[in-house]
Amino acid sequence: MNSYELMVIFTPVLSEEEFKAVQKKYTDYITEHGGTIVHSNPWGLKSLAYPINKKTTGIYWVVEYTSPSELNEKMKIQLLRDEQQMRFMFTKLDKYAVEYNAKKRNGEFANPKLQEA
């Protein structure tokens, strides 16, 4: 099992319910095909660096998961069929990236000067 991170930019016209439904769709797809979700992080509506399909904003979602490598190809097909997504990117995480993400989630990188004040 390898560790991966998937970042998806969805169209900004999605409602909150539609966004949650599409997140559930892909997390269920990962778990049904032998993967496990480590962490899901919806970033929400952000400005894009450049327009995509004449849109200047998008709804970002990042999910970290472990799965067999063949799952990514199957998931890529599902993402390409989805009209709600504008862009997506898979990243394979090495052991250092997994450790960094775990520390970041647990708040170990918080600024100690801010905590003292």
Print the domain residue range for 29: 2-116
Q: Which ranges of the chain does DSSP label H, i.e. alpha helix? A: 16-32, 70-81, 95-105, 112-116
Q: How many CB atoms lie within 10 A of CB 64?
A: 20
Number of domains in the chain: 1
**pLDDT tens readout for residues 37-96:** 999 999 999 999 999 999 999 999 999 999 998 999 999 999 999 999 999 999 999 999
Residue 110 has pLDDT above 70, yes or no: no
Task: Provide the CB-side half-sphere exposure for 9 (13 A, CA).
Answer: 17
Q: Considering the entire predicted model, what is its pTM?
A: 0.85
CATH number at residue 27: 3.30.70.60
Instruction: Quote the CA–CA distance of 21 and 81 in Å, as a whole number.
Output: 16
Q: Let me know the angle formed at the C-alpha of 100 by 98 and 101, rounded to the nearest 5 degrees.
A: 65
Distance from C-alpha of 33 to C-alpha of 75, rounded to nearest angstrom: 10
